[in-house]
Amino acid sequence: MPLSIPRPLVRLNQSFIFIFSTMFIVFSNWLFLAVPLLAGLMGLIFKFNPIIKAGKPFLKKPLNTYIPEDAEQQHFNQKIAVTLLTISLLAHISSIQWLAITAAIMVALASLIAILGFCVGCFVRYQWKQIQYRRSQHSS
């Protein structure tokens, strides 16, 4: 896995997730969940995100000239998105629409907020690391 991902590619992935999860909320068609879920799973399992791969040729400058985003953090964020998309899809299939919509809204909001500049997943991961650190200090 690369150490960083150029910010425009991260924003592209976030936009893709936002658009498809919003389309699910509006149209209630499971395919709108399946597409970003499949792309996210490919990224997590095969280290190949087709959205990021498709966006690379459109970057005009060398990759290392863009603001870098931490690949490990993006991997963590993708796990959260895939988990919520999976919950949403399974709830939709099981006719638990309130859960399907709630999980999709959480994904849509998190991706929109990230596009606007605040990474919810980064905040969650930072808090988790703080808890782990405090626990390690108390056990020493």
Report whether 72 contacts 26 (CB < 8 A): no
Residues 20-40 pLDDT 10s: 999 999 999 999 999 999 999
- Report phi then psi at 4, rounded to 5: -145, 165
3-state SS record for the chain: CCCEEEHHHHHHHHHHHHHHHHHHHHHCCCHHHHHHHHHHHHHHHHCCCHHHHHHHHHCCCCHHHCCEEEHHHHHHHHHHHHHHHHHHHHHHHCCCHHHHHHHHHHHHHHHHHHHHCCCHHHHHHHHHHHHHHHHHHHHC
Residue 1 pLDDT exceeds 60: no
CA–CA gap between residue 38 and residue 50 (Å, rounded) = 9
The verdict on pTM exceeding 0.75 is: yes
pLDDT of residue 47: 93
Residue 53 pLDDT greater than 80, yes or no: yes
Over residues 86-123, the pLDDT tens digits come to 999 999 999 999 999 999 999 999 999 999 999 999 99
What confidence tier does 75 reach under pLDDT thresholds 50, 70, 90? Answer: very high
Looking at residue 139, its pLDDT comes to 84
Among the ranges given (1-10, 75-84, 129-138), the one the predictor scored with the smallest mean pLDDT? 1-10
Distance in angstroms (rounded) separating the CA atoms of residues 11 and 7: 6
What local confidence, expressed as pLDDT, does residue 140 receive?
Answer: 73
Average pLDDT over residues 74-87: 97
Contact 67, 78 (CB under 8 A): no
Task: List the one residue out of 104, 116, 96 whose CA is nearest residue 31.
Answer: 104
Mean pLDDT (whole number) for 63-77: 96
pLDDT for position 2: 66
